Chain A
């Protein structure tokens, strides 16, 4: 589960990680109040206004209606409201949001931490994630802060430093020191970085996170180390342990159809294609999407109805897929094991009748337990539903359904 930057920073701060201070706001007036409060608390007189959406590239991204960037600097209290207005309520398009962008409902008013001083401010990169091959966590650090880390990995792999953490003993002091030394730090900044990494790892473990990305980590001109941005991704499977984190979920950031599917225990991911699909099992669902593509279509979604597929889940699946106007055909692909195909077939017929007017052709491929009986139920239903037993047959029927829609 992803959370917003302002939430991530609050979580990190509660574990002693130094952060760029800020206050979240949802109106220009609240933004001004936040700025005044920040001024009183931190002495900052410049303010960074940051759009809060679940996507990166906000600084370079643009608000469609106003042309404002997603992250802007207000050089004084008098600029705060105007600049906040240009972001709030707008749609922010970044290289990660896709062309449709994301609506900005909240902004973070943050202190300016790039103030001049004894030394130059410098940005670093830090992340913690699971190394699947090694089965343990890895801390990655780089002197190339503020940059896209994939690019750094591609062009300058030598500039990425890694430290693997033994799950038995956790992060050791020498490892944090090694990272800080390799980043070229010394004196106060070195000590600050060691403390930063140590508390960051503590927060990662305590929250059961699956990824932290702090980009940039800033060394200020007076040698403080703090998080200027924070991306926190929590392990969905561990949320039951952390009720206070589970409530940070922002449904507005998710596709409404995905939220609805979730209520029925369906695993749905919306895609851009023209053939909807409903499948039991995640691997078979992905394979079915691939087969749709091989048949000349494009998958409109991923939808795993899980092991306990029945009439209710099939109907919910239908309704969700049919809400997508791009869908020109639907392929239901169920390999009946414990789930019997005749039951699924009855579920499909029932759901079809309940929903009523379904305009797109439906192909039901049933294989496994009672497959023949299932196909018979579909064929004898009198509905605009065709059956298939083998995957090959199903693929051919999908091809026919999308190639000659005029004949339908």
Chain B
């Protein structure tokens, strides 16, 4: 089962022939992801990485039956690419692009919602269901198949968590990198909800950071829904100063509620098992699952 992507996902790559798109499409194909083609306007009819190139997402969907798209289009055109995918009936859009203007995302988000499309990202590492499909830029070998779901705003911190969970003797059902921008398609709560309802996921790692209220919202949802599965939380940025942007466009403390300490308090109050150090994500999860690490 897993969530969002699996071995049956038919994936197209938007921004297929660019350097990023080519590199990661190749990696995804080698991983075993069912990449059915790509879209680069103006290069339709050609072949790239032995897959067909289309001029539009609409055409790609008609010819290949694609239901999932991954976007490597440059920031100025990425919101357009997201909306094009939704308009063509793509069910899951994963936007890797970093640096999309906020005003563009403000229009794109309601547009895709109205069309029933799920957007992951932008500014994210993508989604992986180990052993089935990698629709993202993460190093596949770090993610071993198993029954722990991961939701994270950060790329390398997701790999770190997956590595620790794996070394603790567990594995990953699906890891969802939701992205570090101020406006993202899928919130922490929505991603946690997907994993909570997934019969192949037994527990969830939820990784957040300073800025916004997504982690608090997710924690409250987890409690209101009866803490059905153990959730291990980690919030990065305890030492981040207020008012400064920490790499991610969305990682900025705007008030008293979005500091790491405030979020950790809310997580604990709602029954989330908080890892105080990033080095303890794996061991806290192992303990929650009854494994002595």
Q: Which residues of A contact B (CB under 8 A)?
A: 130, 132-133, 135-137, 150, 167-168, 205, 208, 210, 235-238, 240-241, 267, 269, 271, 273, 279-294, 298-299, 302, 304, 307, 335-338, 367-369, 390-392, 394-395
Q: CB < 8 Å: which of B100, B101, B156, B240 contacts A281?
A: B156
Chain A residue at minimal CB-CB distance from B108: A167
- Select the residue from A235, A240, A286 with max chain B CB neighbours within 10 A: A286
Q: CB < 8 Å: which of B107, B211, B238 contacts A168?
A: B107
Cα(A149)–Cα(B102), bound, Å: 24
In the complex, the answer to whether A287 meets B139 with C-beta atoms within 8 Å is no
In the complex, the answer to whether A282 meets B102 with C-beta atoms within 8 Å is no
Q: What residues of A have a CB within 8 angstroms of the CB of B250 in the complex?
A: 132
Cα(A136)–Cα(B152), bound, Å: 23
Residue B154 lies at the interface, judged by CB distance under 8 Å to chain A: yes
Residue B230 lies at the interface, judged by CB distance under 8 Å to chain A: no
Interface string of B130-155 (1 = CB under 8 A from A): 00000001110110000000001111
- Select the residue from B104, B241, B278 with max chain A CB neighbours within 10 A: B278
Q: Which segment, of B43-51, B157-165, B195-203, B219-227, faces chain A?
A: B157-165
In the complex, the answer to whether B163 meets A283 with C-beta atoms within 8 Å is no
Given contacts A283-B248, A286-B209, 20 further A-B contacts (CB under 8 A): A132-B212, A133-B212, A133-B217, A135-B105, A240-B75, A269-B245, A273-B239, A282-B247, A283-B158, A285-B247, A290-B239, A291-B279, A292-B239, A293-B238, A302-B240, A302-B246, A307-B137, A367-B160, A391-B160, A392-B279
Residue B271 lies at the interface, judged by CB distance under 8 Å to chain A: no
Residue B110 lies at the interface, judged by CB distance under 8 Å to chain A: yes
Q: What residues of B have a CB within 8 angstroms of the CB of A302 in the complex?
A: 240, 244, 246-247
Chain A residue at minimal CB-CB distance from B20: A307
Q: What residues of A have a CB within 8 angstroms of the CB of B101 in the complex?
A: 208, 235, 237-238, 241
Cα(A148)–Cα(B236), bound, Å: 28
Chain A nearest Cβ from B247, distance in angstroms: 3
In the complex, the answer to whether B99 meets A150 with C-beta atoms within 8 Å is no
- Select the residue from B141, B239, B277 with max chain A CB neighbours within 10 A: B239
Chain B nearest Cβ from A201, distance in angstroms: 12
In the complex, the answer to whether B209 meets A283 with C-beta atoms within 8 Å is yes
Chain B nearest Cβ from A284, distance in angstroms: 4
A135 in contact with B183 given A237-B100, A290-B238 (CB within 8 Å):
yes
Residue B175 lies at the interface, judged by CB distance under 8 Å to chain A: no
Q: What residues of B have a CB within 8 angstroms of the CB of A210 in the complex?
A: 102
28 contacts between A and B (CB under 8 A): A132-B211, A132-B212, A135-B110, A136-B106, A150-B255, A167-B107, A205-B103, A240-B76, A241-B76, A267-B247, A271-B239, A279-B156, A281-B157, A282-B180, A282-B247, A283-B157, A283-B248, A284-B155, A286-B210, A287-B157, A287-B236, A290-B277, A307-B137, A337-B155, A338-B139, A367-B160, A368-B163, A391-B164
Interface of A is mostly: mixed
In the complex, the answer to whether A208 meets B103 with C-beta atoms within 8 Å is yes
Residue B234 lies at the interface, judged by CB distance under 8 Å to chain A: yes
Q: CB < 8 Å: which of A130, A236, A289, A395 contacts B240?
A: A289
A335 in contact with B209 given A130-B102, A282-B247, A287-B236 (CB within 8 Å):
no
Q: What residues of B have a CB within 8 angstroms of the CB of A289 in the complex?
A: 237-240
Cα(A131)–Cα(B267), bound, Å: 22
A368 in contact with B139 given A238-B101, A289-B240 (CB within 8 Å):
yes
In the complex, the answer to whether A368 meets B246 with C-beta atoms within 8 Å is no
Residue B207 lies at the interface, judged by CB distance under 8 Å to chain A: yes
In the complex, the answer to whether A271 meets B163 with C-beta atoms within 8 Å is no
Q: CB < 8 Å: which of B106, B211, B212, B241 contacts A137?
A: B106
Closest 9 CB pairs of A and B: A283-B154, A282-B247, A281-B156, A337-B139, A238-B101, A391-B279, A283-B157, A287-B278, A286-B236
Give the contact-size bracket for chain B: 35 or more
Q: What residues of A have a CB within 8 angstroms of the CB of B27 in the complex?
A: 338
In the complex, the answer to whether A167 meets B106 with C-beta atoms within 8 Å is yes
Interface string of B74-105 (1 = CB under 8 A from A): 01100000000000000000000001111111
In the complex, the answer to whether A335 meets B183 with C-beta atoms within 8 Å is no
Residue B213 lies at the interface, judged by CB distance under 8 Å to chain A: yes
Cα(A289)–Cα(B109), bound, Å: 33
Chain B nearest Cβ from A200, distance in angstroms: 16
Q: What residues of B have a CB within 8 angstroms of the CB of A240 in the complex?
A: 75-76
A283 in contact with B180 given A238-B101, A395-B277 (CB within 8 Å):
yes
Chain B residue at minimal CB-CB distance from A268: B247
Residue B182 lies at the interface, judged by CB distance under 8 Å to chain A: yes
Q: What residues of B have a CB within 8 angstroms of the CB of A286 in the complex?
A: 209-210, 236-237, 239-240, 246-247, 251
Residue B249 lies at the interface, judged by CB distance under 8 Å to chain A: yes
In the complex, the answer to whether B279 meets A135 with C-beta atoms within 8 Å is no
Q: CB < 8 Å: which of A133, A168, A279 contacts B110?
A: A168
Q: What residues of B have a CB within 8 angstroms of the CB of A241 in the complex?
A: 76, 101
Chain B nearest Cβ from A341, distance in angstroms: 11
Chain A residue at minimal CB-CB distance from B250: A132
Residue B276 lies at the interface, judged by CB distance under 8 Å to chain A: yes
Q: Which of B157-206 contact A (CB under 8 A)?
A: 157-160, 163-164, 180, 182-183
Cα(A298)–Cα(B241), bound, Å: 12
In the complex, the answer to whether B160 meets A282 with C-beta atoms within 8 Å is no
Chain A nearest Cβ from B89, distance in angstroms: 21
Cα(A367)–Cα(B182), bound, Å: 29
A269 in contact with B244 given A280-B156, A283-B155, A293-B239 (CB within 8 Å):
yes
Cα(A215)–Cα(B213), bound, Å: 26
Chain A residue at minimal CB-CB distance from B216: A133
In the complex, the answer to whether A304 meets B278 with C-beta atoms within 8 Å is no
Q: What residues of A have a CB within 8 angstroms of the CB of B213 in the complex?
A: 132-133
Cα(A286)–Cα(B250), bound, Å: 13
Interface string of B245-283 (1 = CB under 8 A from A): 111111100010000100000000000000011110000
A132 in contact with B182 given A282-B154, A293-B239 (CB within 8 Å):
yes
Cα(A265)–Cα(B184), bound, Å: 24
Chain A residue at minimal CB-CB distance from B187: A133
Cα(A301)–Cα(B271), bound, Å: 33
Q: What residues of B have a CB within 8 angstroms of the CB of A394 in the complex?
A: 279
Q: What residues of A have a CB within 8 angstroms of the CB of B277 in the complex?
A: 290-291, 294, 391, 395
Chain A residue at minimal CB-CB distance from B185: A135
Chain A nearest Cβ from B80, distance in angstroms: 14
Q: CB < 8 Å: which of B103, B138, B278 contacts A337?
A: B138
Cα(A285)–Cα(B244), bound, Å: 14
